A and B are shown apart, each in its own frame.
Chain A
Amino acid sequence: NAGVTQTPKFQVLKTGQSMTLQCAQDMNHEYMSWYRQDPGMGLRLIHYSVGAGITDQGEVPNGYNVSRSTTEDFPLRLLSAAPSQTSVYFCASRTGGRNTIYFGEGSWLTVV
């Protein structure tokens, strides 16, 4: 049981480039989400999914796309990277109610 796996761990992009952050979980959780964490701020929700084929926007969705073709995978796509997207990104999964939220180890993204 690997939990939540994120790749890559570190990435440097040039402004305007696109890339995909990968996230996979092996716990059969229906709920998956992407957060970004910036210095001095709490984790902010980018996009989330409540099951395969269902996604919705969080509080900071602009510049990001997601899809959920399987229960296990929830990739985050940066369409045209901007320096404002320099951040640490966390993928998380959980079931409903009071169950534990499991976070990935994070992806450090720098846009120059």
Chain B
Amino acid sequence: KNQVEQSPQSLIILEGKNCTLQCNYTVSPFSNLRWYKQDTGRGPVSLTIMTFSENTKSNGRYTATLDADTKQSSLHITASQLSDSASYICVVSDRGSTLGRLYFGRGTQLTVWP
């Protein structure tokens, strides 16, 4: 069964600290993996997209890694800011159709305290 599991479910860190969020998936055949940020009361916004051949992708203070062999991804946030408080969602796409079906994780709720 194709699944996307994220950990931890929630995380609290102090402003300025780094953190790493995890995403494990069983989706096959794999096409790409995306990380999205969802602020409270808003729609998800894209952070990174990685395909099978890419193992690192950065977007400012956000760095995503992908290990397609172990089917694991991580999102590392450097020097956290209060505005990083949000839910971070891992989305994996398969290659079963032209556009690919999307599998969503339940998200990690990150809270950054001053």
Contact = CB atoms under 8 A, between A and B. Distances in A.
Interface of A: 4, 31, 40-45, 50, 90, 94, 96-106
B51 to A, nearest CB: 6
B31 A101 contact: no
Chain B contact residues: helix, strand, loop or mixed: strand
Q: Chain B contact residues (Cβ within 8 angstroms of A): what range?
A: 20 to 34
Contacts of A103: 43-45
Contacts of A50: 98-99
Nearest to A102: B46
B76 interface: no
Given A90-B43, A103-B43, A106-B43, A98 B104 contact: no
A106 B42 contact: yes
Contact of B102 (A4, A40, A45, A102): A45
B5 to A, nearest CB: 10
A101 B99 contact: no
A40 B104 CA distance: 12
Contact of A101 (B42, B51, B91, B107): B91
B43 A101 contact: no
Given A50-B99, A98-B32, A101-B34, A43 B46 contact: no
Contacts of A43: 44, 89, 104
B91 A96 contact: no
Interface in B62-114: 89, 91, 93, 98-100, 102, 104-107
